[in-house]
Amino acid sequence: MKAVSVLLLAGGKGSRMKSSIPKQYLMLREKPIVCYSYELLLTLPNLKEIIVVCENEYQFFFDNPTHIPLKFALPGKRRQDSVYNGLQKVSYDTDLVCIHDGARPFLDKTFVLEAIHQASLHGASTLAVPLKNTVKEVDEHGFVLKTLDRTKLFEIQTPQIIEYKLLKRAFLHNHENNIDVTDDTILVEHLDEPVKLVLSSYQNIKITTHDDLELAEKILDSF
């Protein structure tokens, strides 16, 4: 299995939660939200290192009882800037970069391992789930242009896993063309390189609002 470096994004402000601290550090039962995924990611096989992207004052949340190297990077203004900052701390001899949102606590290790496997084969992968609802494209006045084929539409999750050299090349292209992206695999798509979707669980939610936090409590009750 190829060596994996994890980038854990934990630098968001969480303004929609209207909390005094970023949402990923709010308590979910007995521990902060971010610690659920952090602890699971530390157990990945062939894990070379984990780089947490966060402000300095939140580094104390990340206890490391393992021999796996733990590094920190500062977040940027945009998600892609935070990923880029973290990428600068990744060891040059790693194979794959696994990028995960710290506000997604309910990782399933089986799906993560499959995503790592698919990225090893194809260069890039992402967890995803099929859309449940019908989606319509509208014009600027709110009138329906067309109904999209739901069977071909997926909601993208994290982690997203990309070959280290491919991600470096994708960021070079991104900087040269000044492109804004909303997730990491879009960087690869702009190079016309393949991205493999790996079916995930609807429980792999991103906690953004108080409603999400209530849902997270219910998900914990189901475990």
Question: Which is higher by pLDDT, 185 or 21?
Answer: 185
pTM: 0.94
Residue 116 half-sphere exposure toward CB, CA atoms < 13 A? 22
* Average confidence (pLDDT) over 132-153: 96
Q: Which CATH superfamily is domain 4-222 in?
A: Spore Coat Polysaccharide Biosynthesis Protein SpsA; Chain A (3.90.550.10)
- Contact between 23 and 32 (Cβ < 8 Å): no
Quick one: pLDDT at residue 223? 80
- Contact between 75 and 81 (Cβ < 8 Å): yes
d(CA 83, CA 209): 23
Quick one: pLDDT at residue 216? 94
H helices of 12-52, where?
33-41
Quick one: pLDDT at residue 20? 73
